[in-house]
Amino acid sequence: MSAVERIGAEGSPARSPYFTEEHEALRDQVRRFVETEIKPHAHAWEEAGFVPREVLRKMGSLGFLGIRYPAEYGGSEMDTMATVVFAEELGRSTFSGVAITALVHTDMASVHIANAGSKAQRDRLMPAIIAGEKIVAVAVTEPDAGSDVKGIRTTARREGDSYVLNGAKVYITNGVHADLYCVAAKTDLAAKPSQSVSIFLVEKGAPGFRVARELDKHGWRSSDTAELVFEDCRIPADNLLGQEGRGFYAIMSNFQNERTVIGAMAMGEAQAAIDLTLDYVKTRKAFGAPLWDKQAIRQKLAMLAAKVEAGRQLVYHAAWLDAQGVDATREVSMVKAYCGELVNEVMYACLQFHGGMGYMRESTIERMTRDARVQAIGGGATEVMLEEVAKRL
């Protein structure tokens, strides 16, 4: 049955020509997990500041942490569209700190091992990563270098059968409780900036490596974030990921995947906020009638719904291009810029329509508004993304 036939078929689960029945089965499975395993408990995780590792192991046992990875390691060997489904549904959970904890592990950190790791490295680590037994963080950002990867200052020098790392990383998601870190460092200070960066595997407990402090954030409160310090941190030379000097290209290549995932997550958040606000304005009365009776409110929500649908289709199209092996750098940069700004526009309006309740910590929309703010910053700030688009106009 074709995608078009599935959409028109009575009782068909297909919601879009971009997705197969397998994708939609995944969507249903993730949505059930969100309802039963995340929403009832995530308030406590917000207070604790991290997602319990047993929850991530449950995700692993259900196959969520290996969606794109080889079957030989326990993965499902699905495509970019499946990643979008996973990210969008986690975004809809209303607990984006939980979403980003899982998505950094699956689509921003462990991908470096899957893509550049040697067979020995993959054989040793990927089964535990997919099972949720080893949680991974990626450490690129520094106090003076974020999207400007060439500007990192952390160094790694070869000493016999070891590398010695020195430097600091900041704003590292999963940084406090991760078991394994993919760390970017400069291995050749005399080389061109794009050829000076390498990526290394650093395991928790490595001599000279420490979590300097746990960072207190505006949003994503259930996600642990850290500042990391490397002081003569000695690791085996075999912990080099891929070739020396190729780290910059690996990081830039995976930015496309990261930004697609963040766009999908943002649209899931935005849709959840609209749904939540529709329920509120249809029951909350002001001046003797539900807020929904006010034309200004109805039309604002209608326009936001249209924008979110447009953003969602942009995410789907960019992901589909990637799944076909097409260079979608322009489209993915558009996704990150548009969706990162749009989710904040949606949250602003939805909190406004909740009135005073929207400003209270007990309301879901208050938490969602705080969580959304970083979507225009992390993974490539809007301004950086617009420059990427402008280069390709």
Query: CA 237 to CA 301: how far, in whole Å?
Result: 56
Residue 225's DSSP bridge partners are 173
Query: CA 326 to CA 331: how far, in whole Å?
Result: 11
Residue owning tokens 């310090």: 229
Residue owning tokens 């969606």: 67
Asked if residues 87 and 266 have their Cβ atoms less than 8 Å apart, the reply is no
Given the residues 227, 258, 269, 331, the one annotated as active site: 258
Asked if residues 377 and 385 have their Cβ atoms less than 8 Å apart, the reply is no
Three-state SS sequence of 307-356:
HHHHHHHHHHHHHHHHHCCCCCHHHHHHHHHHHHHHHHHHHHHHHHHCHH
Query: CA 343 to CA 263: how far, in whole Å?
Result: 9
Closest CA to 101 of 191, 202, 220: 220
Query: CA 378 to CA 139: how far, in whole Å?
Result: 13
Strands 209-214 and 180-186: unpaired
Cβ atoms within 10 Å, residue 85: 28
Residue owning tokens 């700030």: 381
- Verify whether residue 388 is a known catalytic residue: no
Q: What is the DSSP letter of 79?
A: -
Query: CA 19 to CA 213: how far, in whole Å?
Result: 42
Q: How far lies 301's CA from each of 276, 348, 359, in Å? A: 11, 12, 19
Asked if residues 55 and 95 have their Cβ atoms less than 8 Å apart, the reply is no
Q: Which residues are catalytic?
A: 258
